[in-house]
Structure 1
């Protein structure tokens, strides 16, 4: 990634919460259109959920015309987590979303209050390297998977994003205690608003700086590793993984490349990481969408299936069909004519994609210390399996 990395900016950009200053906060706020002065700031920890990929803090601000508080986001302090996240340019991608799209998304999301970052690009391999990787023997692919995370080197780029502090605006449901069906309908309504606002937009096609390939550019590598290395781990680890579940998970690994292609069909602006703890639910029933680091252009069914797969246990999976119908009806009410069969194909693809990703967390990402390993799979994988074995 660093060989062709552009030079960093010659201006001060805080790279950690400790580097945040009143002067920078004031400049960021004014750059975002706030008329204010900032005399002093105080930084406080802000708790996160499972799978955090960056540092997030609350900033208390003293000054004229400035918000009393804001949330500041920085890259992860853990080198491997940062390297993986930078490979998708996710820190800069979230900033570009707020700069270019947030004001035009007709749903509630934190207000943009300023940002800065060093120039650079994503770390995904180019087409020639992808073809080489995808054609390697399975044994070599498994070796690569065991060493990929270890050699994901972070860059020296700096990223700082300042957004509205949503504070007590609503409740956030983690993977351990997912939201109920009423909250899921609110989240699906919000996602439909996002999708409809940029439906088949030529602007998305032209913005290659912001958007990169969703999920992975090497699907055969990941599917082979999931099938030959991770599936047996899941079967031994989980009592719920019987013959039907194992067969469904294995089928998902075989279909992973075609599902990745479907997820990347350019229908709309998609959130890309629409699991339950990236929503906040207000007392009036509104869903506020958080964390846009994986925003992309893709199939709307990916967002729908990704959300539902993070929430619906086996005892709730019968709600899947009605929740998807709610999303489709909301989208239609916003003027979008979308084939319900195509939506279902997108939802099914999301479930199968997540099956592979959660299998991989048991092997590739296990033990990284940021809850991206078995802690997440233990919660998410049985829900995915429930969806894969459900007839709807």
Structure 2
């Protein structure tokens, strides 16, 4: 199994975009390299979520009931989520590849963080199709908050605790030069090229076509191109700072909360090696209403830094340096995080409220001035 590439093994018939096309043979071919002890005997598609239903942004999902062949371990869940490409015309392969690699390689070893159970996955670079088989978190009573939800400070701390565990585990890891060398950064790799070559055009289309986005950018006294340059300056600067494994897309809508108080993260498509404040800022800024964020973000950052060191990152930067990086990271959330996002992905209210929280924090922290200081 150690010789299986991070992208998994593509079945002989390729990876379809239609959930109804996944039969037991195809699912077993995807699972086999990672869990040879698991074999599906029967599968039924209960439901599917596609683009435009307010739940699908970059990938579609199908909810499966499965029966396993004799000999499969009893603790393997019978209810699965099949995550797959949105459509053959929506070409965002670097994101799909990233998530497959996380679940195939990193998820089995990060047993001290909360993320979905996986039976493995595969990515086909020829078609940019992918498939991931994950446990259905609703079986564990998970709640899936978004920016409209009332999130408590204890719930934010629970997510920060999980991030601290992840970040400490891979803090300055020598494995980045070895078996984890496939992990990309914000400045180098297929994902970085995608963000540089494709995303700015898509963002400018959003600014030009959505009145509220155009006026929101104008209210910040900036432009799409200036925000793009700010993100580039941020990432070049943070390439010189300590790196760890990031989730990469920690807005509150990519989290889940369990009845026992634990919290986890979904949608690992933007996982990279990078600066830890990227994850921390994006979470806090999107999770809390503006007034609560203003009143509590310093204390929440201090809590995270304490937990990061407690979990082993003894040489992590102190509060003052972290605070500046935290404030700089807002440019990514404003530009990449939500200016990319079409209203159809999540609906009007979720989209606008994320923008409102992020752009207000951008102004509160004078992020533009902090970025100019990097020149």
Report how many residues are paired. 337
Cα distance in 2, alignment partners of residues 253 and 51 from structure 1:
25
Deviation, 1:56, is 1.1
Cα distance in 1, alignment partners of residues 306 and 64 from structure 2:
40
Partner of 1:173: 145
Structure 2 CA distance for partners of 1:116 and 1:355, relative to 1, 3 Å: closer
Partner of 1:117: 123
Give the 5 Å matches for 1:201-212: 201-206=173-178, 207-212=180-185
Partner of 1:124: none
Partner of 1:75: 85
CA deviation profile, 1:252-296 (whole Å, cap 9, x unmatched): 666332213245555100000111122111111101222211111
Measured on the aligned residues, the alpha-carbon RMSD in Å equals 3.6
Is 2:314 aligned against 1:347? no
Structure 2 CA distance for partners of 1:359 and 1:198, relative to 1, 3 Å: closer
Partner of 1:338: 316
2:230 to 225, 233, 255: 255
Cα distance in 1, alignment partners of residues 235 and 211 from structure 2:
23
1:200 to 156, 168, 172: 172
Partner of 1:132: none
Cα distance in 2, alignment partners of residues 98 and 236 from structure 1:
37
With the length of structure 1 as denominator, give the TM-score of the two structures: 0.73
1:326 to 264, 285, 303: 303
Partner of 2:25: 23
CA deviation profile, 1:310-356 (whole Å, cap 9, x unmatched): 12222212111111111111101112131123322332122122222
SS in 2 for 1:113: strand
Kept in 1, the 8 Å contact 2:158–2:261? The answer is yes
Cα distance in 1, alignment partners of residues 213 and 31 from structure 2:
51
Partner of 2:3: none
SS in 2 for 1:383: helix
Structure 2 CA distance for partners of 1:305 and 1:166, relative to 1, 3 Å: same
SS in 2 for 1:31: coil
CA deviation profile, 1:73-105 (whole Å, cap 9, x unmatched): 1111272xx32x22xx11122111122111222
Deviation, 1:224, is 11
Kept in 2, the 8 Å contact 1:201–1:268? The answer is yes
SS in 1 for 2:131: strand
Kept in 2, the 8 Å contact 1:267–1:300? The answer is yes
CA deviation profile, 1:214-252 (whole Å, cap 9, x unmatched): 6755769988998999499558756xx996x55799986
Q: Which runs of 5+ in 2 are unaligned?
A: 1-8, 367-375
Q: In terms of mean alpha carbon deviation, does 284-293 or 308-317 score higher?
A: 308-317
Cα distance in 1, alignment partners of residues 116 and 174 from structure 2:
25
Deviation, 1:57, is 1.3
SS in 1 for 2:156: helix
Structure 2 CA distance for partners of 1:381 and 1:204, relative to 1, 3 Å: same
Cα distance in 1, alignment partners of residues 365 and 11 from structure 2:
57
Cα distance in 1, alignment partners of residues 167 and 350 from structure 2:
27
Q: Which runs of 5+ in 1 are unaligned?
A: 1-7, 121-154
